[in-house]
């Protein structure tokens, strides 16, 4: 599920104090995991566990991008206000084509209404386009249809899941 | 979209003559790409292009699995009757959890009703479970809800897309 934390429809787009950038290993100390826990189960990770996961993902290079929105004026452990992920799937279809998958979009409950989630999603879509993807897809609840429509997404089908 | 080529609801499950196995580079000569073209645009690839794509995907190891159903009794260029893909997404969520994505399920038009697609999907789900995924997801049209329900999938949300 790409997001369960939408911002209001009237969200302001501009928020110059907040920088959108790639995840860094130091973001563990800036509230990245507690932000993710607002989306789904996200147990705390030790610095070593975090580094292991970070390095596994970094090894995927541009096929796996995590963006964060950082507010440098916030308390150190509360600086990461939004995040989102793009991973690139490679296929035989479409002449060895690539598809971008947007996952794990979340905006801190106290930072909603500032357009930060939309800024993250739009940048992820740009990155996918620059990487040569022929499309970007995501899964969400029906309530978020209008939210993602602001980023150019249209409804294409249903998502199904098996949980173990 | 995981599939636009369902089999009838009364599909037989047993088809001992057909083997489900991982994609091999020789499958280019056994109709793999023409099968995929029944699902979506799939221009032919030269042997060199195919090998390049195959090796890129093989480099992902168990994080990217393509299964095929082969009928050894069919004409050489028509032996691949069904295919499906699993790729494993790694997350920070769920304690560095993993999610399986099922993609590109297709059954040859002349081989539907033999349960081959279900065999491929079920095996992909097993592989995801063995790999430690906490869930497997796919996107499809609403018409395929009952088809994937046979493999334990339940509807979770909507799929949205941007095409470039």
Whether A27 maps to a domain, the answer reads yes
CB contact under 8 A, B57 and A156: no
* The residue count for chain A: 164
Determine, yes or no, domain membership for A115. Answer: yes
* B161/chain A closest Cα distance in angstroms: 4
Question: Which of B130, B160, B163 should one mutate to test binding to chain A, selecting the residue with the greatest count of A CBs within 10 A?
Answer: B160
CB contact under 8 A, B91 and A101: no
Report the 10 Å Cβ neighbour count for B148. Answer: 25
Give the gap in angstroms from C-alpha A64 to the nearest C-alpha of chain B: 9
Helices assigned H by DSSP within chain B: 32-36, 47-58, 93-96, 116-130, 145-149
Q: To 10 degrees, the CA torsion angle through B3, B102, A156, A41?
A: 160
Question: Is residue A12 in some structural domain?
Answer: no
CATH no. for residue B103? 3.40.630.30
Total domain count, chain B: 1
Q: In three state form, how does the secondary structure of B26-70 look? A: HHHHHCHHHHHCCCCCCCCCCHHHHHHHHHHHHCCHHHEEEEEEE
ipTM of the complex: 0.90
List chain B pLDDT tens, one digit each, 164 residues: 665 555 543 344 456 789 999 999 999 999 999 999 999 999 999 999 999 999 999 999 999 999 999 999 999 999 999 999 999 999 999 999 999 999 999 999 999 999 999 999 999 999 999 999 999 999 999 999 999 999 999 999 999 999 99
Instruction: Give pLDDT tens digits for A84-141.
Output: 999 999 999 999 999 999 999 999 999 999 999 999 999 999 999 999 999 999 999 9
Specify if B7 maps to a domain: no
C-alpha distance from B34 to closest chain A C-alpha (Å): 10
- Distances in whole angstroms, Cα of residue B75 to Cα of each of B81, B110, B113: 11, 13, 20
**B135 vs A52, A142, A161: nearest CB:** A161
Tokens of B72: 């050894």
Tokens standing for residue A123: 């940048």
- Interface test with chain A among B56, B83, B95, B157, by most A beta carbons within 10 Å: B157
Q: Do the Cβ atoms of B162 and A93 come within 8 Å?
A: no
Structural domain contains residue A158: no
Cβ B140–A158 below 8 Å, yes or no? yes
Cα A37 from Cα A59, distance rounded (Å): 24
Question: Is residue B71 included in any domain, yes or no?
Answer: yes
User: Hey, are the CB atoms on B93 and A140 less than 8 Å from each other?
Assistant: no
Q: Is residue B124 part of a domain?
A: yes
Determine, yes or no, domain membership for B123.
yes
The SS3 assignment for B124 reads helix
- A-chain CB neighbours of B140 within 8 Å are 157-158, 160
Supply the range of the domain harboring residue B54: 19-149
Minimum CA–CA partner of A130 in chain B: B164
Comparing C-alpha atoms, which of A136, A162, A120, A146 is closest to residue A8?
A146
């Amino acid at each position: 599920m790409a997001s369960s934390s939408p911002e209001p429809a009237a969200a302001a787009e501009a928020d110059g104090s907040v920088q959108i950038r790639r995840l860094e290993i130091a973001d563990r100390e800036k509230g990245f995991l507690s932000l993710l826990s607002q989306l789904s189960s996200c147990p705390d990770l030790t610095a070593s566990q975090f580094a292991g996961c970070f390095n596994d993902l970094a090894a995927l290079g541009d096929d796996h991008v995590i963006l964060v929105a950082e507010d440098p004026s916030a308390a150190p452990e509360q600086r990461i206000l939004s995040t989102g992920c793009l991973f690139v799937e490679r296929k035989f279809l479409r002449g060895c084509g690539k598809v971008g998958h947007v996952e794990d979009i979340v905006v801190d409950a106290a930072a909603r209404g500032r357009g930060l989630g939309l800024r993250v999603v739009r940048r992820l879509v740009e990155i996918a386009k620059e990487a040569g993807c022929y499309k970007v897809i995501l899964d969400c609840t029906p309530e978020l249809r209008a939210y993602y429509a602001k980023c150019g997404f249209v409804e294409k089908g249903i998502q199904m899941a098996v949980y173990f």
